[in-house]
């Protein structure tokens, strides 16, 4: 059963900010006895002392220090909800997940336009593999995420947003790759397990009887491509990333089978989108 109401949290926060009951009562346009009573009621509900009383001064007790950041967050969320419902304009923090490739090659102009249209929104971008991002969406750690095929998202809404061409890249000294067998003794350079592109490449290699015996895992395409260019191994990357990093001349590109080469990036989210997410979806749907 919920024991805390927003009004009590507002009084608590104001007492902390103003350094005492007298100034808090003046700020809130309440009588001092009312403020004192509400703080005592809140302490009674929580079963914890929120302040140490030293004469006329108050100091936060450990329980009060623990409660304060939660009070700030809850009151901020309440303000954001009221503002959105009143104005139909998005405000507040919008946590968005993205593949490293999508963030580096697709999102800059999109998020720049979003910021100009909705300056009241602070976008917090979190990058990761498709597997990691789906876990974050399901845990409500991010509101939505850009992920790549193949993926399974039961219970989530999905929207195809970007077409990607995937290529195999090697050092320029490798003249050609006619099939998986040509890579049998080479090192796979990739993101950690959970990367959809890596899964596609490993399936292709496995069907050709050439599962890599070694792999190096990186967290950025820039590092991966530099390693490939130095002759350490091979990788699978979107052409858009090579262009964005201006790395097309640093490596040699090799065509992959159509079922692997053509890939789509999707936006995934839970149920009815927030105002901020709805506006982003509208932007993605426009040519």
- Give pTM, 2 decimals: 0.67
* CA–CA gap between residue 238 and residue 253 (Å, rounded): 11
The H or E element that residue 68 is part of is helix 62-87
Express each pLDDT in 108-145 by its tens digit.
Answer: 999 999 999 999 889 999 999 999 999 999 888 889 99
Kindly state whether residue 280 falls inside one of the protein's structural domains: yes
* CA–CA gap between residue 93 and residue 122 (Å, rounded): 5
Express each pLDDT in 183-221 by its tens digit.
Answer: 888 899 998 888 999 999 988 988 888 877 788 998 889
Across 4-14, average pLDDT? 89
Express each pLDDT in 243-283 by its tens digit.
Answer: 999 988 999 999 999 989 999 999 999 888 888 899 999 99
Q: What is the pLDDT of residue 84?
A: 66
Q: How far is CA 222 from the centre of its chain?
A: 20
Number of neighbours of residue 266 by Cβ within 10 angstroms: 19
Express each pLDDT in 148-168 by its tens digit.
Answer: 988 888 989 999 999 999 999
Work out the pLDDT band at 37, boundaries 50, 70, 90: very high
Report the CATH number at residue 181: 3.40.190.10
Residues 130, 206, single domain; the answer is: no
CB 71 within 8 A of CB 12: yes
Q: What is the pLDDT of residue 224?
A: 92
Residues 149, 269, single domain; the answer is: yes
* CA–CA gap between residue 268 and residue 167 (Å, rounded): 25
* CA–CA gap between residue 163 and residue 262 (Å, rounded): 7
Number of neighbours of residue 101 by Cβ within 10 angstroms: 24
Express each pLDDT in 74-118 by its tens digit.
Answer: 887 787 677 667 666 777 888 999 999 999 889 999 999 999 999
Question: In which domain, by residue range, is 129 found?
Answer: 92-162+264-285
Q: Among 87, 116, 133, which residue terminates a domain?
A: 87
What residues contact residue 58 under an 8 Å CB cut-off, 6+ apart? Answer: 15, 19, 20, 21, 51, 52
Across 10-25, average pLDDT? 89
| Number of domains making up the chain | 3
From the number of C-beta atoms within 10 Å of its C-beta (0-12, 13-18, 19+), residue 110 rates as middle
Q: What is the pLDDT of residue 285?
A: 86
Residues 139, 272, single domain; the answer is: yes
Tokens 């640093």 sit at which residue?
Answer: 250
Express each pLDDT in 249-260 by its tens digit.
Answer: 999 999 999 989
How far, CA to CA in Å, does 223 sit from each of 57, 219, 226, 233, 235?
Answer: 56, 8, 5, 12, 11
Q: What is the pLDDT of residue 160?
A: 94
Residues 179, 253, single domain; the answer is: yes
Residues 103, 134, single domain; the answer is: yes
Kindly state whether residue 220 falls inside one of the protein's structural domains: yes
What is the DSSP secondary structure assignment for residue 265, as one 8-state letter?
E
């Amino acid at each position: 059963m919920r024991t805390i109401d927003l009004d009590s949290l507002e009084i608590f926060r104001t007492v902390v900010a103003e350094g005492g009951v007298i100034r808090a009562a003046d700020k809130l346009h309440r009588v001092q006895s009312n403020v004192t009573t509400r703080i005592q009621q809140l302490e009674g509900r929580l079963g914890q002392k929120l302040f140490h009383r030293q004469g006329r001064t108050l100091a936060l007790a450990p329980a009060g220090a623990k409660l304060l950041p939660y009070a700030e967050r809850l009151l901020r969320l309440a303000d954001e909800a009221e503002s959105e419902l009143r104005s139909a304009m998005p405000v507040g923090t919008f946590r968005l997940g993205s593949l490293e490739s999508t963030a580096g090659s697709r999102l800059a102009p999109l998020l720049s336009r979003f910021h100009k249209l909705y300056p009241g929104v602070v976008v917090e971008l979190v990058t990761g593999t498709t597997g990691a991002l789906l876990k974050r969406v399901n845990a409500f750690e991010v509101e939505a995420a850009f992920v790549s095929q193949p993926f399974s998202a039961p219970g989530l809404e999905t929207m195809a947003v970007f077409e990607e061409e995937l290529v195999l890249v090697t050092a320029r000294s490798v003249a050609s790759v006619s099939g998986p067998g040509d890579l049998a003794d080479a090192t796979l350079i990739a993101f950690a397990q959970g990367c959809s592109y890596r899964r596609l490449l490993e399936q292709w290699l496995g069907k050709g009887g050439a599962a890599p015996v070694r792999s190096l895992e990186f967290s950025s395409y820039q590092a991966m491509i530099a390693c490939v260019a130095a002759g350490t191994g091979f990788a699978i990357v979107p052409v858009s990333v090579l262009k964005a990093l201006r790395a097309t001349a640093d490596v040699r590109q090799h065509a992959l089978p159509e079922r692997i080469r053509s890939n789509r990036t999707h936006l995934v989210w839970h149920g009815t989108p927030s105002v901020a997410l709805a506006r982003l979806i509208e932007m993605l749907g426009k040519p």
